[in-house]
Amino acid sequence: MTNYEIWSLIINAAMAIGVIGIALLAVFGDGFRKIIFPARLEVEILDKNGELTILDSGHRVIYYHLRFINRKSVVVRNCRVYLKKIQKRQADGKFQDMPMSVPPRYVWTPSETSPEGVDIVTEQVVDFGYIIDNSREFKPTVTPIYNSFKGNLGQNESFIYYIEIVADNYRSRQLIGIEVSWDGKWPENLKDMHRSLVIKRV
């Protein structure tokens, strides 16, 4: 075999591999991109004191938010956040699973206009929960709320809310736990609210 024939064979093989590669990318491109350039989201509590606002009724309400930060250059497409599990602290200090039939979905901010799923380029914020002055419960901001839902936190209770992140090109490897505890008080200085209602990653 001459040098010309050898080089011709190499060039033809390279062209064939290139055509096959293009075809594979066209068919399995998203799968390859997920493997080669995986998305990565980090979750953090936006403000341990929450955000104070006033309802039309005149009552104060504090909203708590979670921030989802995209640490990669890959856009996380159609991202949704679900409440998958709730655990309640028992008298012995151990957490026990609470019954929950259908996982409800958290609401992106602003809740009035946000769709079910959003694209995350750099970061997005989700409404995690809220508490109204003179009320007896911290309520997670999820939808829909079923009659059987037992996830509202009362005075001197501690819950762990486990969330799951699901997107077209991303899924959290494990559930993310957010623990909330409340002593039932509203301090006069709301800068100290984090001492009464404690929210933290676990």
* pLDDT tens digits, one per residue of 25-77: 455 545 444 445 568 899 999 999 999 999 888 889 999 999 999 999 899 99
Looking at per-residue confidence, does 19 or 155 come out higher?
155
HSE-CB for 15 with a 13 A CA cutoff: 6
- Note the pLDDT of residue 22: 64
Q: Among residues 168, 102, 156, 161, which one has the least CA distance to residue 126?
A: 161
Strand partners, 96: 88
DSSP 185: -
Q: Taking the model in full, what pTM does it have? A: 0.81
Provide DSSP, 46-102.
S-TT-EEEE-TTS-EEEEEEEEEEE-SSS-EEEEEEEEEEEEEE-TTS-EEE---SS
Q: Is 91 exposed, middle or buried (0-12, 13-18, 19+ CB in 10 A)?
A: exposed
